[in-house]
A and B are shown apart, each in its own frame.
Chain A
Amino acid sequence: METMVELRGVTKRFGAFTAVDSVDLQIRQGEFMTFLGPSGCGKTTLLRLISGFETATAGRVLIGGRDVTDVPPYKRDVNQVFQSYAIFPHLNVADNVAFGLRMRNVPAAERAKRVGEALELVSLQGLEKRRPHELSGGQRQRVALARAIVCRPQVLLLDEPLSALDAKLRHSMQFELKNLQRQLGITFIFVTHDQEEALIMSDRIAVINKGRIEQLGDATQIYHAPATAFTADFIGEANLLKSQVVYRNGILARVRLTEGVELAVKKETLQDSTSQALLSVRPEKIYITKTKPAKENAFKGTIEEEVFRGAMDELRIRIGGTPAANGSHTGLSLMAMVPNESSHERSWHKGDTVYCTIHTDDIVVVEQKA
């Protein structure tokens, strides 16, 4: 597939602070790419380098094969939906949407037609004459979207466009945006700090941390095979477990988590020289039973806490160790998810002894050292 946006060794410094640190990235035509990371990680700066509001300190930015590193924003064929929507308060809905077309000197008749189409696409027909202050947050968001897509850009940039909406509206907009992108077939670059949003919408996700791309991949890769502890921790929830390699043969290796608790892991996930490894296990991949299952990687624990989380219940399970005098525990604490229970037939109680089972496929090594 054709490359639409390409970043080559792009670095952006603000004084002594490096916001973007030699990033290389290729974004394909028609792709829904998400920059995901915590605030201050550099994802917005990266977006602004593409839109042209920032100029790279080093490296090149290419859009549609054209080097635009030094091209001002108004000469780039990208449009953006701003976090604050940036709707022009002095113009009505139709004039806001028509703004980009007027700046490109599109004739009035065609302008009206395209504005009508864009407003239909975001279901705002009939609101053409409304002033921005007469619109709800969701409607403003749609105006911003219509205003950006009406220009039919090669690339649409979206800077946390959903963050100001309430949860339900946000969720429906996520699907709408995804549909819109499929319908229009243009490249979307979406910036968010919301991992769920990223997982739902993206074709690919670039996890960004401290100005660098930590991991690039599709949603399932990012979720199931986090390459680093940061990714594992930032995306979804993860048990990050320190372990020591105690044994290895041709097929399997065994690691010890704590006194008396050992796990079998796939041998090929570990380098030969590794003696210590950090493991990531998703909470929903820990199977809880009351009786000891006849499987490997099963070990005993005690329910320390049970937290109601809606669709799921979260269990905190203490493995190994002994209570210390100050109330803390040695050993380790695991987080597991189980389907929630109705109040009249609860199977899990605080203090119960349970067995945890972890499949070797669900253990991801995110760090290792000799």
Chain B
Amino acid sequence: MKHILRSLAVAGATLVAAVGSSLSAAELNLFAWSEYVPQAVLDKFTEETGIKVNYETYDSNEEMLSKLVGGAEYDLVQPSEYVIEVMVKRGMLAPIDFAAVPNFKNLDKAYLNLPHDPEQKFSIPYMVGSVGIVVNTEKVKEPVKGYADLFSGKHAGRIVTLDDNRELLTWAFYFTGQDLNTINKDTMAKARPVLAKWLPQIKIFDSASPKTALLNGEVDLGIVWSGEAAILFQEDKKFQYVLPTEGAHLFIDSLAMPKDAPHKKEAHAFLNFILRPDISVLISADFPYTNPNVEARKLLTPEQLENPASYPAAEDAKRLHTFRDIGRAAAEIDKMITDLRGGS
């Protein structure tokens, strides 16, 4: 009888231990853009650290924001620069303990301490890119240097652009020589007639995969994400990427930690992990945006580095600017573009 009781107690203790360990088992809830984090990177992380990664994806910053506001608990999210600004202002992010992320030193200083996170306390750049012009040089012989050339009227009906109202407005702002983050009635009024002339020239609005229309020949020019342009260039050198002379949007997709992240330790481990040069190159291989990791760039092939969409010339890069949060103006932009497109 005693014997039985003792074995029961042992079994019970084992059970409690097992449950306890599974509760505290190391895991990480990652909420990131779809098609932006290679599965190989996640597998390798788990293999090395034993931390299980729960990878959930979203298709827009807004989707991510509303899930967070709704109370979902994630350890890392992947907002674009102007969204970081919103989240910081709202107090939604936890500061990062940079002591736990020694690989942070690998990052290019050019992408740090920018206006959306001036003290670089809350975010770590993941990938960087621009929004520029792609030209099928087999079909278009005359040079296209900027928005003025693109929308000269010669290429009407042969253009694909992103389907994003703020981006559309930004191009007109550059064209009219206005600051892309100063959005008010006056600046918008100046941009309006420009867009009224441009929008009817666009054949397709598509944010998800603008490269498709270029690849299958529906259109010959486009304003697209640099990553899409880099893939086009890999496919065929005839697709040349041009950073508009008037200026272009630089976007910085970063990783950040929500205030209530339940696994902060694991989050820091992951941040340090992906900043390792040998890991970072894996991301570049799948998603040929600009890698902000200087050490990782040293490991890239010459071909990757020579892709002008991924790594534009230094003097071109000077014309790039990041987005700031624009508050209520987003609704005004939406109304204006809706109106102009409604007329098309």
Touch between A and B in complex, CB under 8 Å? no
